[in-house]
């Protein structure tokens, strides 16, 4: 016959603080459980069909001693009647599991829904395509078919450390790509949790306090990439050689040099962005890297170039390609055919070096390059107040570009300039 514990009073129970399990009497098997942190709760130990089970009856003192004894008696009565009651904690877990099963979604499903929900925030369709492409190439083979509720840190690590090139991993060999991928996985999982498809809590793709303890920091791996750029002293001779070439791509490259604009901004330029009367090119925020409108004062040379362009019927683009705007490799192809070892973006560095050598204000050059270097108030001041000064700068640059000598740029004479 089981030993019956001494029946404790409410006051005696309240005095129990030592971690462990303490029988309180009054009902067979009723205990007060005290955790190492001081948390106290009621546990009823019974035997059902030869198996010992513990039933949680709630936390103390939220559930009083009298209420715990009443609940314990009810459990014993059910067992004697041949019924096996379900503990409250087990019932909550079962209901939560059933609810999750009814809403179970895969990672691939959540990626598509996330893109539908958040894609409007991105500047253009290319950004959305990059998201989908990166996740499809690297994450989907590992995570795609998994229920999003089951994805753990080990799964994310399997994506980031997948083999690349035989002897390396994605995180080490292509860290910039892998870092973007990690952030995108984190955002998809955050969206899944907010949508009720996975339990809220720690995100297994989070960097700080999680993956940063397991993977080397990106700053310790990534090497600074440089855009190959012509020395600014070679620009006039290059412009002279470029003007001997026909085609929309050659003219687009020349326009990019004269305006110090990014190649994507030039390739996507439309006629309605141009104001010939005020000699101004206004690039909308949606096409700018910084996501803000940028005004480019046009030099006389840039205006002359634009007016000489043959218009293409039914095309809104200033530099049209076969289908829509020029491709992103068209300007690079011009440089390759000219056997000049630099890239279109490098001409922005040539412009900046020329401006520095001519003692133009650094802020003026940075603003002309659409670099965001100041707070919102100061940036707004520069955009409004420096247009005339920038017009003077861009006119001087265009005039310099045309002071050519009849000698081609030195082959292999390239600067290494940081990405701008």
* pLDDT for position 227: 60
pTM of the model: 0.53
The pLDDT tens digits of the residues spanning 219-249 come to 777 654 556 788 889 999 999 999 999 999 9
pLDDT at 95 over 60: no
254 CB-contact burial (10 Å; exposed 0-12 / middle 13-18 / buried 19+): buried
Instruction: Note whether 307 and 364 are within 8 A (CB).
Output: no
Q: What is the DSSP code (8-state) at residue 124?
A: S
pLDDT at 276 over 70: yes
Whole-number average pLDDT of the chain: 82
| Backbone φ and ψ of 415, nearest 5° | -90, 160
Looking at the chain, the number of H-run helices and the number of E-run strands are: 19, 11
How many C-beta atoms lie closer than 10 Å to residue 377's C-beta? 7
125 CB-contact burial (10 Å; exposed 0-12 / middle 13-18 / buried 19+): exposed
| Backbone φ and ψ of 95, nearest 5° | -65, -40
Instruction: Note whether 318 and 326 are within 8 A (CB).
Output: no
Tokens of residue 157, six digits: 């690590």
Residues 6+ apart with CB under 8 A from 140: 107, 108, 111
Q: CATH assignment of 232-401? A: 1.10.443.10
Instruction: Note whether 69 and 13 are within 8 A (CB).
Output: no
Query: In the chain, where are the structural domains located?
Result: 10-87, 105-220, 232-401
C-alpha span between 204 and 207 (Å, rounded): 9
Instruction: Note whether 353 and 400 are within 8 A (CB).
Output: no
Give the residue among 420, 376, 355, 383 at the shortest CA–CA distance from 280: 383
- Among 20-29, 171-180, 243-252, 308-317, whose mean pLDDT is lowest? 308-317
pLDDT at 399 over 90: yes
C-alpha span between 420 and 348 (Å, rounded): 7
Instruction: Compute CA 235 distance to the chain's CA centroid, rounded to the nearest angstrom.
Output: 37
pLDDT at 204 over 90: yes
| Higher per-residue pLDDT: 13 or 221 | 13
Taking the CA atoms of 195, 197, 203 and 205 in sequence, report the sign of the dihedral they define. Answer: negative
Which residues are bridge partners to 46 per DSSP? 53
Which letter, b or e, does each residue of 28-41 get, where b requires 16 or more Cβ atoms within 10 Å of its Cβ? bbbbbbbeeeeebb
Distances (CA, A) of 50 to 68, 72, 79, 207: 24, 19, 12, 48
Tokens of residue 27, six digits: 């009902």
Q: CATH assignment of 10-87? A: 3.30.160.390
Q: CATH assignment of 105-220? A: 1.10.150.130
Tokens of residue 104, six digits: 């179970």
């Amino acid at each position: 016959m089981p030993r019956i514990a001494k029946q404790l009073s409410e006051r005696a129970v309240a005095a129990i603080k030592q971690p462990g399990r303490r029988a309180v009497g009054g009902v067979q098997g009723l205990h007060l459980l005290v955790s190492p942190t001081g948390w106290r709760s009621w546990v009823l130990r019974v035997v059902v069909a030869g198996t010992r089970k513990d039933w949680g009856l709630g936390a103390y003192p939220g559930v009083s001693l009298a209420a715990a004894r009443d609940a314990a008696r009810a459990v014993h009565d059910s067992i004697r009647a041949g019924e096996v009651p379900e503990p409250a904690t087990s019932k909550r877990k079962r209901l939560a599991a059933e609810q999750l099963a009814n809403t179970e979604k895969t990672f691939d499903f959540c990626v598509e829904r996330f893109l539908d929900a958040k894609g409007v925030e991105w500047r253009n369709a290319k950004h959305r395509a990059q998201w989908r492409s990166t996740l499809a190439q690297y994450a989907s083979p590992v995570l795609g078919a998994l229920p999003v509720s089951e994805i753990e840190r080990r799964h994310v690590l399997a994506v980031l450390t997948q083999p690349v090139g035989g002897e390396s991993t994605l995180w080490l060999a292509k860290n910039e790509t892998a870092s973007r991928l990690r952030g995108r996985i984190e955002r998809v999982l955050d969206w899944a949790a907010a949508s009720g498809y996975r339990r809220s809590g720690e995100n297994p793709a989070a960097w700080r306090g999680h993956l940063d303890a397991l993977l080397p920091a990106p700053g310790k791996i990534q090497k600074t990439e440089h855009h190959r750029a012509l020395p600014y002293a070679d620009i006039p001779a290059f412009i002279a050689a470029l003007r001997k070439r026909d085609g929309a791509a050659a003219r687009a490259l020349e326009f990019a040099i004269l305006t110090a604009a990014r190649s994507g901004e030039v390739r996507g330029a439309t006629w309605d962005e141009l104001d010939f009367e005020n000699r101004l090119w206004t690039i909308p925020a949606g096409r700018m890297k910084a996501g803000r409108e940028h005004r480019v004062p046009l030099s006389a040379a840039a205006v002359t170039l634009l007016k000489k362009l043959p218009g293409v019927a039914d095309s809104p683009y200033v530099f049209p390609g076969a289908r829509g705007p020029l491709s992103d490799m068209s300007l690079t192809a011009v440089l390759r055919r000219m056997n000049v070892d630099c890239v279109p973006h490098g001409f922005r560095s040539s412009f900046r070096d020329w401006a520095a050598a001519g003692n133009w204000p650094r802020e003026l050059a940075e603003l002309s390059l659409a670099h965001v270097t100041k707070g919102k108030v100061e940036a707004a001041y520069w955009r409004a107040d420096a247009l005339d000064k920038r017009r003077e700068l861009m006119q001087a640059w265009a005039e310099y570009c045309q002071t050519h000598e009849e000698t081609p740029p030195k082959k292999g004479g390239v600067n290494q300039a940081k990405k701008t």
